[in-house]
Amino acid sequence: MSAAGRPGARRPPVGRTTVRVGLALALAFAALAGAAGYWQVVRSEELVTRPDNPATRALRQEAVRGLILDRDGAVLADSRFDADGLPYRVYVDDTVSQVVGYASRRYGTAGLERTYDAYLVGLRTGDARTDLLSKFVPDPYDPRNLQTSLSLELQRRAVAELGADRGAVVMLDPRSGEVLVLASTPVFDASAVADPATSEAAFTGLQADAAQPLLPRATQGLYVPGSVFKIVTAAAGLRTGAIGRETRYPEQPPAEKDGLVVEGFRITDGHHPATASRELDLVQATEVSCNIWYALAGLATGGGGLADGAAAFGFGATLPFDLPTSASQVTNGGGPLPGGFADDVELANASYGQAETLATPLQMAMVAATVANDGVLMRPRLATALEDPDGGGTTTLGPTNLGQVLGPDDAAILVEAMTAAVEGELGRGYTSGAKVPGVLTAGKSGTAELGGSGEPHSWFIGFAPADDPTVAIAVLVERGGRGGERAAPLAGRMMAAYFDMVGR
């Protein structure tokens, strides 16, 4: 300040701070614009196609929904009209009810009918250009047919195989994630729920049923996995480098007879006569399904490694799928050990699929499929295309790669181990029932002990042909007995039916 003494200049002028406050507010409004762009453009399609969008709900009353088709074009869901000329749904086959779901005027929607509601009623077509142009015409609604990867033939076979038992069968193509079979028993009659005349009685009856037919066991049933989980443990150990194909433990196999003591808890294992006193490597331990080897492998991997490995397969969260799924878990969490395990006893038990470990059949099918697909996890999916019934073109819903869960070399070790479990000499007594005649088959059975006196859950996961897998499978039979006795042969017959269908 030279000769001119400027009154007021002693303090910063109000003008400059005002400009700064204005700029701050402009930034805040820029954030608003960003948020608006996020919801209105980035997340728009996803939110609009949500079943709780009222636009879909409003349309549901009057819209003639598109067809739902299986992979061969067989109609799974069709529409009829009641006396007032209003449409309602009819479903061709009870065996797909938990997958296709229902669309009822009174009880809303479930299953694929719910997930793809916006497309089936024609609010969206799945094609951005059509969606934009459709707004130029008087009736902007354009229902789509939903193409699925389901095989009605195999689905029927799976439900028949499960028979009176409660359980689930999941078959998918490990290369593309396309789900061929997603069967849960008992099944229910979805047409009765959709038909306005019988809707109320049918639905209340189903809700009261103790067998819980409305529960889609394949995707939402959580079961102790038992020995099928050993594949996850092996993958987690291989990922961290804690174990390798040649890993042997000195306690093995003599400890089999007395069991392995971890922090005072004795892990027992049936003696495998064929192993004599040999120390087992990974392949042999998998072949004979040795709990003690896997307990030691899990302890070597550590809780964090095991939890991370399982999470890579999808454990710990709902699965990215066309239907709602339950989150599988390795542990309840909250414990002091890495990964949330309470102590080494829980970690050791979890390593062979007991303790607090729970998995859905779909999750275990994804484990098998990942091993079969060189360690690459594909997003499982049912919907393959949205098709314009008037021939206006088809939008294909492509496969999604969810990432490399384990290296191709590690995957090859597991393929070898699972092949040995079905084809090997040591394992004959356990899993050989899954063998598909004439096809090199890989798999792992599981017998999930539930405590108490009841029968264990019977599990099997596997794939075939082992040298170039085209199909992966998970079978669960609630209280079905030993895995090798119930689930494994069932899986073998299902895979055989698959190869019959596709002509090898």
Partner 1 sequence: MDPFFLLLWLMRLAFLGLLYLVLFLVVRVLLRDLRAAARQASAELGRLVVVRCPSGDPAPGTVFVLDAVTTLGRDVNNSVVVDDAFVSGVHAALTYRGRAWYVEDLGSTNGTYVNGLRVVEPTLLGFGDAVVVGETQLRLDRGRRSEHRT
Partner 2 sequence: MTATAARQPVGLGSVRPRPRWRELALLVLVGLTLVVGSLSLGSTEAWLGSRGPGGVPPEARLADLGQLVVFLGAFLVVHLAMVLTARRVDQVLLPAVALLGGIGLLLMERLPQDLAGAYGGLSQTQLLWWLLATAVLGGLAVVVRSDAWLRLYRYSWAALGIALLLLTFVFGEEVNGARLTLTIGPISGQPTELLKVLLVVFLAGYLSENRPLLAESDLRIGPIRLPPLPYLAPMVAMWAIALSIVVVQRDLGAAMLFFAVFLALLYVATARWSYVIVGILLFAAGAAISYALFAHVRIRVDIWLDPWADPLGAGYQVVQALIAFARGGLIGTGLGAGLPEVGGRPPIPAIHTDFPLAALGEELGLVGLLAILGLYLVIIERGLRIAASAVDEFRAILAAGLALVIGVQAFIIAAGNLKLIPLTGITVPFISYGGSSLLANALIIGLLLAISDPGVDPPPIPRRPRRLRGAAARRASAVGGSR
**By the criterion CB under 8 A, which residues form the site for partner 2?**
1, 5, 10-12, 14-22, 24-26, 28-29, 31-33, 35-37, 39-41, 43-48, 50, 52-55, 57-59, 138
Closest to partner 2 by CB, 58 vs 160, is 58
Amino acid at 383: A
Closest to partner 2 by CB, 51 vs 304, is 51
Q: Are 484 and 491 in contact (CB under 8 A)?
A: no
271: left (phi over 0), alpha (psi -120 to 50) or beta: beta
Q: Are 356 and 346 in contact (CB under 8 A)?
A: yes
Q: Are 94 and 172 in contact (CB under 8 A)?
A: no
**Hunting for tokens 């009880």 — which residue is that?**
107
316: left (phi over 0), alpha (psi -120 to 50) or beta: left
Chain centre distance of CA 426: 31
94: which 2 tokens?
């009870």
**Hunting for tokens 């209105």 — which residue is that?**
40
Q: Which residue out of 176, 184, 227, 328 is catalytically annotated?
A: 227
356: which 2 tokens?
């607090």
Q: How far is the CB of 449 from partner 2 (least distance, A)?
A: 35
Q: Computed from CA positions of residues 425, 364, 329, 240, in that sequence, does the dihedral angle turn out positive or negative?
A: positive
Q: Find which of partner 1, partner 2, none residue 28 binds, CB within 5 to 8 Å per kind.
A: partner 2
Neighbours of 467 (CB within 10 A): 10
3-state secondary structure of 8: coil
Tell me which residues in 272-291 interact with partner 1 (CB under 8 A): none
Q: Report the alpha-carbon distance of residue 19 to residue 14 in Å, rounded.
A: 9
Q: Find which of partner 1, partner 2, none residue 54 binds, CB within 5 to 8 Å per kind.
A: partner 2
Closest to partner 2 by CB, 47 vs 201, is 47
3-state secondary structure of 473: strand
* By CB under 8 A, residue 6 contacts partner 1: yes
Q: How far is the CB of 138 from partner 1 (least distance, A)?
A: 6
37: which 2 tokens?
């762009």
Q: Are 292 and 260 in contact (CB under 8 A)?
A: yes
Q: Are 127 and 234 in contact (CB under 8 A)?
A: no
Q: Find which of partner 2, partner 1, none residue 401 binds, CB within 5 to 8 Å per kind.
A: none
**Hunting for tokens 């393929």 — which residue is that?**
415
Q: How far is the CB of 137 from partner 1 (least distance, A)?
A: 7
Region from 6-14, 24-32, 227-235, 445-453 binding partner 1, contact rule CB under 8 A: 6-14
Q: Report the alpha-carbon distance of residue 173 to residue 181 in Å, rounded.
A: 10
Q: How far is the CB of 297 from partner 2 (least distance, A)?
A: 38
Active site residue 44: no
Q: How far is the CB of 109 from partner 2 (least distance, A)?
A: 14
* By CB under 8 A, residue 11 contacts partner 1: no
Q: Find which of partner 2, partner 1, none residue 398 binds, CB within 5 to 8 Å per kind.
A: none
Closest to partner 1 by CB, 30 vs 211, is 30
Q: How far is the CB of 7 from partner 1 (least distance, A)?
A: 3
**Which residues lie across from 387 on neighbouring strands?**
145, 394
Q: How far is the CB of 44 from partner 1 (least distance, A)?
A: 17
- Which residue among 8, 12, 437, 503 contacts partner 1 (CB under 8 A)? 8
Q: Find which of partner 2, partner 1, none residue 136 binds, CB within 5 to 8 Å per kind.
A: partner 1
Closest to partner 2 by CB, 82 vs 467, is 82
Q: Report the alpha-carbon distance of residue 151 to residue 74 in Å, rounded.
A: 9
Tell me which residues in 120-149 interact with partner 1 (CB under 8 A): 135-138
Q: Find which of partner 1, partner 2, none residue 137 binds, CB within 5 to 8 Å per kind.
A: partner 1
Nearest Cα neighbor of 165 from 110, 111, 221, 207 is 221
Closest to partner 1 by CB, 6 vs 129, is 6
* By CB under 8 A, residue 7 contacts partner 1: yes
Q: Find which of partner 1, partner 2, none residue 81 binds, CB within 5 to 8 Å per kind.
A: none
* By CB under 8 A, residue 4 contacts partner 1: yes
Q: Are 411 and 442 in contact (CB under 8 A)?
A: no
Amino acid at 123: L
Q: Are 179 and 380 in contact (CB under 8 A)?
A: yes
Region from 5-13, 266-274, 306-314, 327-335 binding partner 1, contact rule CB under 8 A: 5-13
**Hunting for tokens 């969490």 — which residue is that?**
333
Number of residues in contact with partner 1, rule: CB under 8 A?
Answer: 10
Q: Find which of partner 2, partner 1, none residue 452 binds, CB within 5 to 8 Å per kind.
A: none
Closest to partner 2 by CB, 135 vs 246, is 135
Q: How far is the CB of 40 from partner 2 (least distance, A)?
A: 4
Q: Indicate which residues carry an active-site annotation.
A: 227
Q: Which residues bind partner 1 (CB under 8 A)?
A: 3-8, 135-138
